[in-house]
């Protein structure tokens, strides 16, 4: 019996390309598909989590929303890797900066993803697993960003389960360990990729700085995110 369609994804076998870009917001997935892809077609809309497939510079590529948090991207990326034969998933999202040298609209690439999540518990490992990006995807993304003229910073990010944290000093602890920025999905994506023997990368545009009180305007977000999208599309 086929595993697809699933309760979360209405696509059929062959509807997804080998490479899928995953923004958190399904409406951003729609925007990317309609703005950048040639002949995009919608392949799923279950729970309004939109997915599209088309071509970019002649190469087939898919875009699909991931939702917010590790449980959400954990479900969608698991199904793409294990049921839809996707080889590469590139998360394109936003993050809050922790370090002083990081500026608004910088692109942070998560070489590794620290986490306060218990996501790895399911694997029964006799220790702590370190979720990391695929090196080949990461090196190509760094090269493309630099050629584009975008300031790119590479290192550890934090994938947190908690947005409104009751412990007010929590960011100070991660900042002191050199973690670059906070987001909510990369660690689960990297773990799913490792288990499925597939490849994943997390690219993040800095939308706010948690220590300087700075934040992008809506117009700046569109410009900054566009640069990141173009880099990610080149990885297909």
Contact criterion met (CB below 8 Å) for 161 and 140: no
pTM over 0.95: yes
**pLDDT, tens digit, for every residue of 200-226?**
999 999 999 999 999 998 777 766 799
What pLDDT shows up at residue 152? 96
Q: Quick: pLDDT tens for 75-97.
A: 999 999 999 999 999 999 999 99
Q: Is 100 a catalytic residue?
A: no
pLDDT at 220: 79
What are the domain boundaries of the chain?
Answer: 19-233
Q: In the numeric block, which tokens belong to residue 218?
A: 């809506």
Pick from 114, 132, 140, 120: which is nearest to 199 by CA?
132
Q: What is the DSSP letter of 18?
A: S
In the set 87, 161, 208, 220, the catalytic residue is: 208
Residue spans of the chain under pLDDT 50: 1
Q: How is residue 132 annotated by DSSP?
A: B
Say what the pLDDT of residue 217 is.
86
CB 161 within 8 A of CB 116: yes
Q: Identify the CATH number of the domain defined by range 19-233.
A: 3.40.50.1580
DSSP assignment of 143-168: HHHHHHT--EEEEEEEE-S-SS-S-T
Q: What is Dmax (Cα atoms) for the chain?
A: 54
pLDDT number for residue 9:
98
């Amino acid at each position: 019996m086929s595993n697809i369609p699933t309760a979360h994804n209405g696509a059929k076998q062959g509807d997804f390309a080998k490479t899928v870009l995953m923004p958190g917001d399904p409406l951003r997935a729609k925007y990317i598909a309609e703005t950048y892809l040639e002949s995009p077609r919608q392949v799923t809309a279950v729970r309004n989590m939109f997915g599209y497939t088309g071509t970019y510079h002649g190469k087939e590529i898919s875009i699909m929303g991931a939702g917010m948090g590790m449980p959400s991207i954990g479900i969608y990326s698991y199904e793409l890797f294990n049921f839809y034969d996707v080889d590469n998933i590139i998360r394109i999202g936003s993050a809050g900066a922790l370090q002083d040298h990081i500026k608004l609209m910088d692109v942070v690439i998560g070489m590794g993803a620290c986490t306060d999540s218990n996501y790895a518990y399911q694997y029964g490992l006799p220790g702590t697993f370190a979720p990391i990006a695929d090196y080949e995807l990461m090196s190509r993304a760094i090269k493309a960003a630099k050629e584009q003229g975008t300031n790119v910073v590479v290192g550890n990010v934090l994938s947190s389960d908690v947005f409104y944290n009751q412990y007010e000093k929590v960011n100070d602890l991660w900042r002191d360990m050199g973690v670059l920025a906070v987001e909510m999905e990369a660690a689960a994506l990297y773990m799913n990729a490792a288990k499925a023997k597939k490849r994943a990368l997390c690219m993040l545009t800095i939308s706010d700085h948690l220590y300087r009180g700075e934040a992008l305007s809506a117009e700046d977000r569109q410009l900054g995110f566009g640069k990141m999208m173009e880099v990610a599309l080149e990885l297909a």
